[in-house]
A = this chain, B = another copy of it.
């Protein structure tokens, strides 16, 4: 039997590169509108153009870059409007997750939610924005999973990831951490009580407010 010693090496090189490029785009190494050069990226990653191109395919499919035939690939310039639209959809998806979770959640699931929420609270009390940000992500993913709908879970996670950079920036707004935390508490309690409509409503608002905050931050930026 052939054992695979390192599971992370199980993916092809182009897969890994796609992941790296995605992170780099999301974290801002490549500015929106920037062109991704096959040759230089190939050199940088010590591979030929082939894996780079395969990585591009994936990025294009997930909407991070656009491919212009015979022109090249460019980091997609998401306008503020597009991002607000994405937040609107995210709010609805999370709302659905909450509604389904409230109906389907078991006692064990609720305990899990409470546990991760406690970690969020600890992070907030320590004023550790990074940790809160991370735990907040875990909380939301847990919620997606507890919708009981695997497909929904994946779609929600995909959009969540896509909105990552825009969600992060508004966490630094004064008072947002506490507000977010309070909303988490209410959401968990609604789910625990099996109150599906309320869980749905709370989650929609919880995410929609992120869109509004994003809008707020954007409108106070010098230029975009």
Residues of A within 8 A of B (CB): 10-12, 50, 53-54, 57-58, 61-62, 69, 82, 85-86, 88-89, 92-93, 96, 149-152, 155
Q: How far is the CB of A18 from chain B (nearest CB, A)?
A: 9
Helix, strand, loop or mixed for chain A's interface?
A: helix
Q: A54-B57, A58-B61 are in contact. List 4 more A-B contacts (CB 8 A).
A: A85-B150, A85-B152, A92-B92, A92-B96
A151 to B162, CA, bound (A): 12
The one of B88, B93, B150 in contact with A149, judged by C-beta atoms closer than 8 angstroms, is: B88
Q: CB-CB < 8 A to A96: which residues of B?
A: 89, 92
Q: How far is the CB of A4 from chain B (nearest CB, A)?
A: 10
Closest Cβ neighbor of A86 among chain B residues: B151
Establish whether residues B10 and A69, one from each chain, have CB atoms under 8 Å apart when the complex forms.
Answer: yes
Q: CB-CB < 8 A to A54: which residues of B?
A: 53-54, 57
Establish whether residues B92 and A12, one from each chain, have CB atoms under 8 Å apart when the complex forms.
Answer: no
A88 to B147, CA, bound (A): 11
A50 to B86, CA, bound (A): 34
Closest Cβ neighbor of A148 among chain B residues: B85
Q: CB-CB < 8 A to A155: which residues of B?
A: 89
Q: CB-CB < 8 A to A69: which residues of B?
A: 10-12
Q: How far is the CB of A12 from chain B (nearest CB, A)?
A: 6
The answer to whether A89 and B151 touch (CB under 8 A), given A10-B69, A69-B11, is yes
Q: CB-CB < 8 A to A88: which residues of B?
A: 149, 151-152
Q: How far is the CB of A209 from chain B (nearest CB, A)?
A: 18
